[in-house]
Amino acid sequence: MTKIDFGGVVEDVVTREEFPLEKAREVLKNEVVAVLGYGVQGPAQSLNMRDNGIHVIVGQWKGDQAAWNKAVADGWVPGETLFDLEEAVDRGTIIQYLVSDAAQMMTWPRIKPHLKPGDALYFSHGFSIVYSNQTGVVPPDFVDVIMVAPKGSGTSVRANFLAGSGINASYAVEQDYTGRAEERTIALGIAIGAGYLFPTTFKNEVYSDLTGERGVLMGALAGIMEAQYNLLRKHGHTPSEAFNETVEELTQSLIRLVDKNGMDWMYANCSTTAQRGALDWRHQFRKAVEPVFDWLYESVVSGEQTRIVLEANSAPDYREKLGEELREMRESEMWRAGAAVRSLRPENWGK
């Protein structure tokens, strides 16, 4: 473990320097990693491990023809490295349960009977374990229960890996049957290409993850953008101007400065007018949203957010309703303006 000072709080992290890929390969040399689900995280984690020399197979429900065909297109061979869910569990020693949260609830009765003593049951989200009273996912006591949770989408996990970097990930051990659970967990984190790993618990991971997705990372970001865009349009600004001042400048300039050296560095590299306004108004926005975040966090801890997710995602018309909600967003004036603005970027000229 490496001790790092995070703003005055010292935490332990695991880096690829102290736990190199060669060590991960040694830890996993007798394991068969069965990745269940070829939707969001499944492709990225399985392909990264395969590229890193880990023995990987994929389990996918044949009824989802699109996901099955994608797995085949990515080089997984039916009957050799691509199987139905149950057969993949039978063949695996580490079972990466990467189907969606709702699908975990629905498939668990089929998966549980195929787990063997000494297997590791791996998650990338604490959802099903923490809210087991709703999902019914209660692992037997003869398996390790572990987690590696990349702090990014599957697309980013794969793209960063191919670029030679990595997505940071948290890790946790919920149940250590073999006495090797932590070593297996860290080895898997390195094998999927994590930039560095930091310890957490299943409960802390799911509380922070559900809050983050609904908050700054996605829900709050989209809502704040829409509010500012609508305000500017209401006062007569053109769609191009409103979108550039709301989204384009953030994504193409400012957030890259934050990524490079932090928020203060971004402020220092903006005009003095922007600095003063941002420093003053950040407090107003923080005060305004703190009650909303309190409400959100309590909704996560109480299980209300989980109930909503499971109910919605288990509905037979979920995909149709999701498509309609995304279509509404895509066809809003703001994001149609965004498509036009993106088409004018130099790299898209002539496309």
Helix axes 272-301, 202-214, angle to 10 degrees: 130
Listed in order, strand segments (DSSP E) in the chain are 2-6, 9-15, 33-36, 56-59, 82-83, 94-97, 120-123, 144-150, 169-175, 196-199
Judge whether 47 and 70 are in contact, CB under 8 Å. no
Specify the residue for token string 């269940």.
Answer: 36
> Which residues are tagged catalytic?
125
Judge whether 73 and 16 are in contact, CB under 8 Å. no
Nearest CA to 73 out of 47, 35, 40 is that of 47
What the block records as the tokens of 206 is 């799911």
Specify the residue for token string 């990014």.
Answer: 152
Cα 185 to Cα 70, 101, 147: the distances in Å are 27, 20, 7
Judge whether 142 and 177 are in contact, CB under 8 Å. yes
